[in-house]
Structure 1
Amino acid sequence: MRREWWVVAGVAAVGLWFLISIEPVLMPFFVSMVLAYLGDPLADRLEEVGLSRRLAVSVVFLLLTLIVVLTLLLVVPVLGRQLGQLIESVPAILNWMQGTVVPRVQSLTGMDLSTDIDQMRQAVVDNWKETGTFAATLLTQVSRSGLALVAWIGNLALIPVVTFYLLLDWDVIVGKLRGALPRSWEPAAVRLAGQCDEVLSAFLRGQLIVMLCLGVIYAIGLTLLGVRFGMLIGMLAGLASIVPYLGVIVGISVAGIVAFFQFGDWLSLLGVAAVFGFGQAVESVVLQPKLLGDKIGLHPVAVIFAVLAGGNLFGFTGVLLALPAAAVIMVLLRELNDRYKNSTLYDTRQPRTDDEEST
């Protein structure tokens, strides 16, 4: 291994240590990077139409702001209200399970679940009594840690500012990074960056739009059926669809239980199945081919592992970075695998390429 590779490894290690050290302040910058990455293609297209870069970025920034504001004003209050109603209904659901479901299960299987359900119900009721105390304690802690609250609000206020300037100078930043690469590394680095962009586009652009569309379809369908908490269940199922088939499994299970508990007949379950079946058909026929096509994707297991590992290591910032980091690592691993398969280490009959000889 050449001496330059040791220098690169040392710089990468120092950079990783630095990022870990300043992790508490990185959240607004990473959120802004994601937003700028999502908005840059639209800004480029507006530039091609004839707008200046600043005007194109201003239009994209206004669109992003409008989407966020409308979401906060229209969707969040409804979801919050339905979440509160769902929490209030948990004791009644447990009582129904103890009085209706448990006897049926016991008659069919011989298993006595009454003790477990009763303990679960009692634990929920006991915790309900402590909800007010917990809320008061939480408010006290927030008021005592005024500086932390101010810092949190300041981080939120930084996001639109940083997003605007990143969008404005995105192409300049990319060009400078490319210009700083060693000349012998530039072709391979640009090729790998293109593959990484393809994966990130599939997830951060295509997959997010697919998730949003599925959430809207599920929420509207369940609401039209009259299922309680239909919007909340639908949007959660849409978010869970980042892992293939997880959204429909979670959504149809929760919506089916709520619908059966609400209406008390099996016909409502057919309606719930029809809603999620329609959503899956739209995803397979329209959304996936149009938005994702044959782009490289991440394996569902890799998605689950990346999100859990990122959240455990770096909290909310780690969750934001999980999928982009997993996509980049996947591309690099594929490149290493290709180089290994074409090397004499894998097969002594393989001729060495120019890149291998130079490294």
Structure 2
Amino acid sequence: MSLQRQMMFWVGALAAFILFLVVFRTVLLPFIAGMAVAYALDPVADWFERRGFSRMAASLIILVVFVVLLVLMFVLFVPILANQLAGFIERIPSYAQQLQSLANSLLNTRFGALFRVDAAQLQSSMGQLMSQGASWLSTVLKSLWSGGSALIDVISLLVVTPVVAFYMLVDWDRMLARIDSWIPRDHVETVRMLARDADSAIAGFVRGQGLVCLILGSFYGLGLAVLGLNFGLLIGIGAGILSFIPYVGTTLGFVISVGVAIVQFWPDWYWVGAVIGVFLVGQFFEGNILQPRLVGASVGLHPVWLMFALFAFGVLFGFVGLLIAVPASAAIGVLVRFGIARYLTSPIYRGDAEASPDE
């Protein structure tokens, strides 16, 4: 009965937490964002404390630097990216038409005859596919653009998030100690172990992958801009940001940049090859240097599980769900691995250990 009551309590607590997220999801964004910022910057505050600063002074310094960097980002980069995004949305239909024309001209050469394809039928299918793809991409980008503009215009996000982050950063250690005091004493060591594992997974992925995204976005954006690719800065930074989802950002950025390069540079194929080379170099550094050193192999988040979590939490809770998807999936992964380990050592899996083989 004691185990049953414990199960009922934790299931009820989980249901109440999910209900809370569903009911208040429209107002949680600045608070969740503030908690995420405080969590990410807590090691920096600890570094200042080890050098003699008080927690209040360390938090204040971090807040000032964070706000200054945020303002500089909005002043220097957001207008440029916003203009490029608006121009790219307008050019999508013309890009699709030019790609279709190039494909049609290629089919009318010996290449099309070599494979004995029905040029008219294939051209019709490609035309429908490209028009549908361009329409879908344009719709998605317009929705992101309108959502991004609304997000930027929301005063609460810009004002409340730094304030929440500051107070959370000041009280972070006290909050953890208070939560630790609420844990049932019979299970405190187990819960602490699970919390350490979850923190390791979350910190390893969020902080490490965040640095990977920042480095890749800078590399792709500068590389494509130096090559003179239209909207190269926007495409490169977008590919870097979306690299938070394994394979998605690089693949999407590669396809879009190559498509734009073909329209812009063809028949100068070597410029198209240079654009492809930027992504090949980026992938080489990501796979052999950035991922092993910044993220590591002990995070425990499989790419498929991560993608499912991002889509599932995004559908259920919107943008707030995207913010909590990674930490929630990391914590769930730790609990699942713990449960499987307990199951493999339990009588349910091992059977009657006392029974002899003859029996």
Shorter-chain TM-score above 0.5? yes
- The alpha carbon displacement at 1:175 in A equals 0.7
Query: What's the counterpart of residue 160 of structure 1?
Result: 162
Q: After superposition, give the CA deviation of every residue in 1:144-203 in whole Å (9 maximum; x if it has no partner).
A: xxxx99x94335421111111011101110110001111111101111011111111122
- Decide whether aligned partners of structure 1 residues 198 and 125 sit closer, same or farther in structure 2, where only a CA change above 3 A counts: closer
- The alpha carbon displacement at 1:80 in A equals 1.2
- The alpha carbon displacement at 1:233 in A equals 1.0
The separation in 1 between residues aligned to 2:157 and 2:348, in whole angstroms, is: 50
| Most deviating of 39-48 and 114-123 | 114-123
Query: What's the counterpart of residue 317 of structure 2?
Result: 314
The separation in 2 between residues aligned to 1:78 and 1:187, in whole angstroms, is: 51
Structure 1: which 5+ residue stretches go unaligned?
128-133, 143-147, 352-359
The separation in 1 between residues aligned to 2:177 and 2:170, in whole angstroms, is: 13
The separation in 2 between residues aligned to 1:6 and 1:77, in whole angstroms, is: 52
Query: What's the counterpart of residue 344 of structure 1?
Result: 347
Query: What's the counterpart of residue 145 of structure 1?
Result: none
* Matched pairs, number: 334
| Correspondence 1:97 to 2:102 | no
The separation in 2 between residues aligned to 1:349 and 1:70, in whole angstroms, is: 66
- Decide whether aligned partners of structure 1 residues 272 and 122 sit closer, same or farther in structure 2, where only a CA change above 3 A counts: closer
* Conserved? CA contact 1:94–1:117, under 8 Å: no
- Decide whether aligned partners of structure 1 residues 170 and 291 sit closer, same or farther in structure 2, where only a CA change above 3 A counts: same
The separation in 2 between residues aligned to 1:240 and 1:126, in whole angstroms, is: 21
Query: What's the counterpart of residue 110 of structure 1?
Result: 118
The separation in 2 between residues aligned to 1:249 and 1:117, in whole angstroms, is: 21
The separation in 2 between residues aligned to 1:41 and 1:126, in whole angstroms, is: 45
Measured on the aligned residues, the alpha-carbon RMSD in Å equals: 2.9
Aligned residue among 39, 50, 55 for 1:37? 39
Query: What's the counterpart of residue 74 of structure 1?
Result: 76
Q: After superposition, give the CA deviation of every residue in 1:231-288 in whole Å (9 maximum; x if it has no partner).
A: 1111111122223333332222211111121111221122112211221222233322
| Correspondence 1:285 to 2:285 | no
2:322 counterpart letter in structure 1:
V
Query: What's the counterpart of residue 357 of structure 2?
Result: none
1:99 counterpart letter in structure 2:
S
| Most deviating of 260-269 and 118-127 | 118-127
Q: Give % identity.
A: 37
Matches within 5 A, 1:136-155: 152-155=154-157
The separation in 2 between residues aligned to 1:181 and 1:123, in whole angstroms, is: 54
Structure 2: which 5+ residue stretches go unaligned?
137-141, 355-359
- Decide whether aligned partners of structure 1 residues 35 and 276 sit closer, same or farther in structure 2, where only a CA change above 3 A counts: same
Higher relative contact order (CA 8 A, sep 6+): 2
* Conserved? CA contact 2:205–2:299, under 8 Å: no
The separation in 2 between residues aligned to 1:11 and 1:293, in whole angstroms, is: 33
Superposition TM-score, scaled by structure 1 size: 0.84
The separation in 1 between residues aligned to 2:17 and 2:101, in whole angstroms, is: 59
- Decide whether aligned partners of structure 1 residues 121 and 16 sit closer, same or farther in structure 2, where only a CA change above 3 A counts: closer
Query: What's the counterpart of residue 64 of structure 1?
Result: 66
* Conserved? CA contact 2:209–2:244, under 8 Å: yes
Q: After superposition, give the CA deviation of every residue in 1:90-115 in whole Å (9 maximum; x if it has no partner).
A: 23213313322134246353252444
1:335 counterpart letter in structure 2:
F
* Conserved? CA contact 1:30–1:320, under 8 Å: yes
The separation in 1 between residues aligned to 2:238 and 2:125, in whole angstroms, is: 28
Query: What's the counterpart of residue 299 of structure 1?
Result: 302
Q: After superposition, give the CA deviation of every residue in 1:54-106 in whole Å (9 maximum; x if it has no partner).
A: 11111111222122222212221121111122122223213313322134246
- Decide whether aligned partners of structure 1 residues 330 and 100 sit closer, same or farther in structure 2, where only a CA change above 3 A counts: same
- Decide whether aligned partners of structure 1 residues 68 and 297 sit closer, same or farther in structure 2, where only a CA change above 3 A counts: farther
